[in-house]
A and B are shown apart, each in its own frame.
Chain A
Amino acid sequence: MVICPNCLFRNMTGALFCSECGTQLIRDESQKTGAVHVTNGFKSSAKTGPVPQPASIPPAPFTDAPVSLNILNSGVFLPLPDEEEVILGRASEGQSMVPDINLEPYHAFEAGVSRIHAAIRMVNDQVMITDLGSGNGTRINGDKIEPHIPHPIKNGDLLNLGKFKIQIIIQTKAK
C-alpha cells in the first residue's frame, strides 16, 4: 500500500500516481537534494538510519497550521507560523533583512524568487497575498498580480513566485 502524502488516500502497491488527487508517488532519488529532507523536519535521528521515503510520510505533524505551502516539484509541505504576516523569499549571505520563510533550499534562486518576494497575511480569516515588488512578479493561478496590493487566495490556489510553484493549503479551523 502507498499512502498519498497529499490527500492520504491509500493507493495499491505499485501505484505511481495517487488515483484521487494525481500526486506523483515516486520520486527520482538521483535528482533529489539532501536539503529537502533536512528542512522537511524528518531527518532521521539515527545518524546512519535510512532516509525516510517521502511517499510514506503523512503530513500529520503539520495539520495544526492554518496555512501551509505545498512546494511543487519537491513534494515538501511547509507549515506557516501562526502569525499575522509571513514574508516569503530567500536568504542569502550578508543580507540584513531575512524572510520568515526561506525558500532557498528548494532552488528558489534558479526559479527567480526575490530575496523579499511576497507576504502572506491573515485578515479576518481571509488569507491574502501581496507581491512586495519582486523582480519576477507573483501569479495566482497563472494571473499576474499588481505589486503591493493584497489579493485574496483560497485553498488549492497555485502561486508562482517567478517560476517557483507553490500550492496554498488552507485548513479551515473547526469552530
Chain B
Amino acid sequence: MPVTPNYYDLLKIPKDAGAEEIRHAYHELARVLHPDKNPRAGATDQFLNLQTAYETLSDPVRRSAYDKKLRSESDDPILVDVSFSRGHLSAQPENQLMYVLLEISAAAKLVERNSPHLNLCLVLDRSTSMHGARMDTVKSAAIELIRQTAPEDVISIVSFSDRAEVLVKSGKGQERHYMETQIQMMRDGGGTEVFQGLEAGYQEVQRHLNRTMVNHIFMITDGHTYGDEESCLQLADRAALQGVRITGLGIGTEWNDKFLDELTSRTGGSSFFIAKNNDLHTFMQEKFDALNQVFAERVSMTLTTPPGVVLNALFRVQPDSAIVPLSNNIRLGSILKKSGLTLLMEFIIPSVPEDVFRFELASGELNLVLPFDAAATRKIPLTISRQVGKDDEKEMPPHPLFQALTQLTLYRMQEKASQEVSEGKVQQASVRLQHLATQLFSLGEVELAQTALIEADRIQQTHMLSAEGEKQIKYGTRSFLLPARAREV
C-alpha cells in the first residue's frame, strides 16, 4: 500500500465525488489546516498536500491521470469500478430509481497467473427421453470435454435416471480411454430424478473438495423432476456453503427452467437452454472455457440499505447473465480473469432531502476466495452513495450500464408476460410480447422478435405460451447482448 494516503482519502471524499463536493471538502479542511491557524509542526506540509490534492482532483484531465496511476499502483488483487446511471440523485419527495453498475475485475498483474485446477463432476441424464440422437450428442460432448482436461484436474462422471450410477469415481490423472468407455456404455432408460444424480455428483466432488480448485458440477438434463425439488434445493444450499457451484444445461423444452434456475442460482451458478442438440457442444465448451478462466471463486456479497432504500433487482451481466436472487448473502459465482464479473443493480430510493450533499444507497462487502492464495477469504468493503443535486443536462449513462439495462428491461418484459399468462391476463401478456418484439426488432434481433410475435398470437388463441417459445424468449433476452455472442457472429 502507498504510504501517503491517496487524495480522495486525504479530502475524505468518495471516488465518484463531483466538483462541488471536492471544493466543499477542500474548504472545510483548509480552514482547519491552514498554517496561520495551526502552528504545530508538520501542519504546513499537510496543508501543501491538501493543496496538491485539491488542484489534482479539481482538474478533470489531471484527475483522470491520477485515477489511472492509483489503479496501476494498487496492490489489491481485485478492483471494483462503480458507475451510475445519473450524476445526481434528485432531491424530491417521490420515489426515484438509480442504476449502479459494479465492474469487478482482476488486477492486471495477476491475470497471467496459472489457472486453478478443476474438481469437476459431470452429471448426465440418461432417462428414457434422452433416447437416440440426444444421448449420442451428450456422450460426444462429454468425451470432448474430458479430452481437454489437464492431468491435475479431478474428474468424476455420474449418470442418472431414477437412480444414479457413478461411472467414473473422482480422481486425478485417470486414464482417458477408461473414462471415454464409461461414457460410451451409458444406456438410456428410466425416469428423471435429478436429486439422485445431483447427490451422487456432489459426493464425488466433496471427496476432493479444495479451496485451491474450482469445485463444480455440470448437470445435463432434459426432463422435469417430480417430487424431489425441495431436496434438490437443500442440497444446492449445502453445496453452496462448501463452495461447489452447479451449472445446469437443459436440453429440449420439457425441463423445468424455473426449478433449474433456482437450483443453480443458489450456488452462484446458472442454467442454460439448449434448443438444438448441436448447440450442446458449443455451450459446454463455452462453460468449460469459463471454468478455466476463473480468477476468484465463491464470490458473495452482503449489502444493507438504509431505511426506505430498496435494492429492487440484481442482474449479473457477466459471466452467465442472470437475475440473481436477493438474500442476506448473495451468491455471485466467480470472477473471470479477463472479463471479470459485472453486476447491474436497481435501487428504488424514497424521499431525498434537499439539504444533503450525498445520499447512501447501500453498504456491505464482497467476499471471495482466490484459489492461488486460498488460505483466507478476501473481504472487500463496498459503499455505494451518490451526490444529491440537479443534472445539468440529459446525459447518456455510461455505455456498458446502458447496454446491461437494455438487456434487463427486455428480460423483465418477458418475465412479466409469462407471469400475466399464468394469471390469465391474456390480453396484457399478448400486448407486452408485441412491445417486446418492437424493441427486439429495433435492436436487430429479428429472430427473437419473430418468436415473440408468434407467441403473442398464440396467447390470444390458446391462452398459453408454447414451452419452446417461452424458453427461447427467456434465455434469448437474457443473453443476446453478451460479448461472447458478438464474437461468434
Contact = CB atoms under 8 A, between A and B. Distances in A.
A14 B96 contact: yes
Interface stretch (B45-53, B167-175, B218-226, B403-411): B403-411
B409 A156 contact: no
A56 B435 CA distance: 20
Of B92, B397, B437, B449, which is in contact with the most chain A CB atoms at under 10 Å from its CB?
A: B437
B489 interface: no
A174 to B, nearest CB: 18
A70 B437 CA distance: 14
A124 B405 CA distance: 42
B99 A16 contact: yes
A27 B393 CA distance: 11
B95 A141 contact: no
Given A22-B413, A141-B453, A14 B98 contact: yes
A19 B408 CA distance: 11
A165 interface: yes
Contacts of B409: 17, 19, 22
A30 B394 CA distance: 10
A171 interface: no
Interface string B425-453: 00000011011111101100010011001
A91 interface: no
Contacts of A26: 394, 396-397
A1 interface: yes
Contact of B92 (A13, A29, A53, A142): A13
Interface string A6-21: 0100011111110111
B96 A12 contact: yes
A110 B413 CA distance: 31
Contact of B450 (A7, A16, A23, A142): A142
Interface string B62-103: 000000000000000000000001100010101111110000
A145 B436 CA distance: 23
A44 interface: no
B94 A12 contact: yes
A17 B85 contact: no
Contacts of A30: 396
B402 A72 contact: no
A19 B412 contact: yes
Contacts of A11: 97
B406 A17 contact: yes
B348 interface: yes
B309 to A, nearest CB: 13
Those 9 A-B pairs whose CB atoms lie nearest each other, nearest first = A14-B97, A13-B96, A156-B434, A21-B435, A17-B409, A72-B442, A22-B439, A14-B96, A158-B441
Interface of A: 1, 7, 11-17, 19-23, 26-30, 53, 70, 72-73, 141-142, 156, 158, 165, 167
